[in-house]
């Protein structure tokens, strides 16, 4: 298992290794980090490469994520790829078991069955690529992401830039007074911060 500061590790290139599905079977990859760190951008990049390789690809996101486009996964840089919005992780198993590559965005919003779904897909030979927040705004592990990280072959942690000091940011600092764990929002509601600036403001 490789923990990479950058989007690709020099020791481990997931695109080159996992595209050889016939040799290695299925796999689980996780792309995680704070808000505005480029998680969705990296997810889209990997899925587009799979499409270029003429692999069958399906992309899923939770129906609760209504910020951009109900029928597409959209990055903060406005790159997008068509997707299917689903209510539960079991729907992903139902709709994604007949393809070669499954992408899952905003995985932190899914139910606790998502790790089992990822395992079942991978055991069927599917390359599963999961992107999501690894911590909520309180700095606690978020949803099913930690459990998926534990069973993944590859983990890529991406970082935003701290708006206070410019250092790598791994926390999503909430700007609005709301204690709900799930609060959809963008730059009006959150900003990326490093450890020092995050805890210095709490």
Contacts of 29 (CB under 8 A, 6+ apart): 14, 18, 46, 127, 128, 129, 130, 152, 153, 154, 155, 156
**Residues 157, 1: Cα–Cα separation, whole Å:** 12
**CB neighbours of 64 closer than 8 A, spacing ≥ 6?**
109, 182, 184
| Sequence-ordered list of residues with C-beta below 8 angstroms from that of 62, at least 6 positions apart, any chain | 85, 86, 87, 106, 109, 110
Of 29, 42, 106, 191, which is the active-site residue? 106
The residue count for the chain: 202
Q: Which of 102, 94, 104 is nearest to 56 (CA)?
A: 102
The token duo for 131 is: 């992107």
Check if 106 is active-site.
yes
Task: Give the active site residues.
Answer: 106
């Amino acid at each position: 298992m490789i923990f990479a500061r950058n989007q690709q590790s020099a020791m481990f290139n997931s695109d080159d290794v996992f595209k050889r599905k016939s040799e290695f079977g299925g796999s689980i990859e996780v792309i995680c980090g704070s808000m505005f760190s480029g998680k969705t951008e990296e997810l889209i990049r990997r899925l587009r490469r799979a499409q270029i390789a003429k692999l069958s690809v399906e992309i899923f996101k939770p129906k609760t994520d209504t910020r951009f486009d109900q029928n597409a996964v959209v990055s903060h840089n406005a790159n997008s790829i068509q997707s299917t919005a689903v209510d539960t992780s079991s729907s992903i198993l139902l709709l994604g078991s007949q393809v070669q590559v499954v992408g899952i965005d905003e995985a932190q919003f899914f139910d606790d069955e998502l790790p089992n779904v990822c395992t079942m897909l991978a055991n069927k030979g599917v390359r599963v690529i999961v992107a999501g927040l690894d911590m909520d705004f309180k700095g606690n592990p978020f949803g099913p992401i930690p459990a998926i990280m534990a069973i993944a072959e590859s983990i890529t942690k991406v970082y935003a830039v701290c708006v206070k000091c410019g250092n790598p940011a791994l926390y999503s600092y909430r700007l609005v007074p709301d204690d709900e764990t799930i609060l959809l929002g963008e730059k009006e509601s959150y900003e990326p911060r490093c450890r020092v600036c995050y805890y210095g403001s709490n």
